[in-house]
Structure 1
Amino acid sequence: MSDGQERAWAAHSGFYLIEVERGRAATSIRPGDPIDPAATYGRAAPLVVEIGSGQGHAIVHAAQNAPETDFLAVEVFRAGLARTMLDADRAGVQNLRLVEANAPEVLEHLLPEASVDELWVFFSDPWHKSKHHKRRLIDPSFPPLAARALRDGGLLRLATDWEDYASQMRDVMTDAEDFAPAFDAAPDGWAPRFDGRVMTAFERKGLAKGRDIRDLVYRRRDRAEAPAVPVTADDAARP
């Protein structure tokens, strides 16, 4: 980190940073040590989690404009977290916390089941080379983790400026039995731009390069909802 980021970390991590029990790696989380959101934030309130918060521009803006909601920024790069803390402090934001950890482990181990009202994944690394696609966050292993953390009816919001990654996201979520689309598709088949997302450097960069921004939003099905199971002729013939 730069000297300024080091100072921001030293000055503000005591308030903003959630200290977690680690597993084997520096950004891992030991299973069995979930947080208590009400204790963490000092109140019971809706919780929005952003995965891959970067320098925090989107989540600081959102937290500043929705003081009645609690926000959690998940990021593995400490420099980005330091910048987030600095901007949050300058804006007087009190309803934001940060965690330095791998996103799948946050969803599986840190957050209690059904504790999140909205989960945001905006402009995650597209790993645009074909040989690196396996590193993308949104793959078939992601929906069950998101479904665990989200409350019934909670929303998963996605955005990317890479067309093939957007298509992969849509394919993955179409096959996810715990989720249903929560948008009226625009003529091009995508969700309208989420008006709660402030324009960030990633989005500006994509637009400057002539790439289309793709939004998707899905609702977490109620846990009591069972996906319809097709009835075969053999099933119908059974007594």
Structure 2
Amino acid sequence: MRSVVSYVKRGGRMTVGQQRAWNELWPSLGRTVGELPEGPVDFDDWFGRRAPVMVEIGSGMGETTSQLAAAAPELNYVAVEVYDPGLGQLMLRAEKLGVENLRLMHGDAVVLLTSHVEPGTLSGVRLFFPDPWPKKRHHKRRIVQPEFVALVASRLAPGGTFHMATDWENYAEQMMEVCSAEPLLRNRHAGEPGGWAPRPEWRPITKFENRADVEGRISHDLIFERV
């Protein structure tokens, strides 16, 4: 569906624990985007309840995602990731925390949003520390582009939020520019210096933020709302 994708499908062997999670937990917790039937996913049926749906794109190894889901039991939390060991590790972390409101999608978030999420239905989309593709010739691979932001905005319910975070200054500026130009979105923190959102206390500090701090880079949060 896209000629340019924003991620690299990494390899990597799974640990014994991650493989056990795939064998035992994936059948109930996970689905593969490319194997979904046509049409929107019935999230109410999958979670066994009706609740606001939050989608997190790029859950990595799941440390923060598991904590975020555990801290918001009122949400139906959907994590989308392409890295198999990362999903296995996320299932292990969720199991350890006793998280029951988390489901996993293996595959391309753009395909999921385009073909399997109804417009105007999500309470929020989170995109924390996506691949910055720092070299200028690779900026076209960054996921936050006008077409993607328009897609996210169209899937949000009125008042739903698109929350991004990055530690790369020029990517933060690109996010701000692209999202500010999307007519379906407004900046919740337009009155703050630079329009940046204050760093939420509830968002766990990631390894990327720690590394950025060591390397002298400042992390920025952006929160836009569906009008």
**TM-score, scaled to structure 2:** 0.89
The answer to whether the 8 Å contact 2:73/2:101 transfers is: yes
Write the distance in 2 (CA, Å) between the matches of 1:186 and 1:201.
Answer: 26
Which of the residues 130, 134, 147 maps onto 1:128?
Answer: 134
**Helix, strand or coil for the counterpart of 2:61?**
coil
Q: Specify the alignment match of 1:15 in structure 2.
A: 28
C-alpha deviations, 1:106-127, integer Å up to 9, x for none?
A: 1111222222101100000000
Count of residue pairs the alignment pairs up? 214
The answer to whether the 8 Å contact 2:64/2:204 transfers is: yes
Instruction: Structure 2: give runs of 5+ residues left out of the alignment.
Output: 1-13
The answer to whether the 8 Å contact 2:17/2:92 transfers is: no
Is 1:112 aligned to 2:123, yes or no? no
Which of the residues 18, 26, 32 maps onto 1:5?
Answer: 18
Is 1:60 aligned to 2:66, yes or no? yes
The structure with more radius of gyration: 1
**Helix, strand or coil for the counterpart of 2:146?**
coil
RMSD, aligned α-carbons: 1.5
Write the distance in 1 (CA, Å) between the matches of 2:28 and 2:156.
Answer: 25
Q: Structure 1 segments of 4 or more deviating over 6 A?
A: none
183-192 or 170-179: bigger deviation: 183-192
Deviation at 1:194, TM superposition (A): 2.2
C-alpha deviations, 1:125-172, integer Å up to 9, x for none?
A: 000011110000001111221012111110000100000000000110
Deviation at 1:2, TM superposition (A): 2.7
**Helix, strand or coil for the counterpart of 1:157?**
strand
Q: Specify the alignment match of 2:225 in structure 1.
A: 219
* Mapping for residues 76-155 of structure 1, pairs under 5 Å: 76-155=82-161
**TM-score, scaled to structure 1:** 0.85
**Helix, strand or coil for the counterpart of 1:18?**
strand
2:139 alignment partner AA: H
**Helix, strand or coil for the counterpart of 2:22?**
helix
Write the distance in 2 (CA, Å) between the matches of 1:189 and 1:95.
Answer: 32
Q: Evaluate the alpha carbon distance shift between residue 51 and residue 20 of structure 1 in structure 2; reply closer, same or farther with a 3 A threshold.
A: closer
Q: Specify the alignment match of 2:175 in structure 1.
A: 169
2:162 alignment partner AA: L
Q: Evaluate the alpha carbon distance shift between residue 182 and residue 189 of structure 1 in structure 2; reply closer, same or farther with a 3 A threshold.
A: closer
**Helix, strand or coil for the counterpart of 1:99?**
strand
Write the distance in 2 (CA, Å) between the matches of 1:173 and 1:195.
Answer: 23
Instruction: Structure 1: give runs of 5+ residues left out of the alignment.
Output: 23-28, 222-239
**Helix, strand or coil for the counterpart of 1:141?**
helix
Q: Specify the alignment match of 2:9 in structure 1.
A: none
The answer to whether the 8 Å contact 2:32/2:107 transfers is: no
Deviation at 1:68, TM superposition (A): 1.6
1:60 alignment partner AA: S
1:168 alignment partner AA: Q
2:46 alignment partner AA: T
Identity across matched positions, percent: 39
Q: Specify the alignment match of 1:180 in structure 2.
A: 186
Write the distance in 2 (CA, Å) between the matches of 1:16 and 1:206.
Answer: 32
Write the distance in 1 (CA, Å) between the matches of 2:168 and 2:105.
Answer: 27
The answer to whether the 8 Å contact 1:185/1:191 transfers is: no
The answer to whether the 8 Å contact 2:33/2:111 transfers is: no
Write the distance in 2 (CA, Å) between the matches of 1:203 and 1:15.
Answer: 32
**Helix, strand or coil for the counterpart of 1:216?**
strand
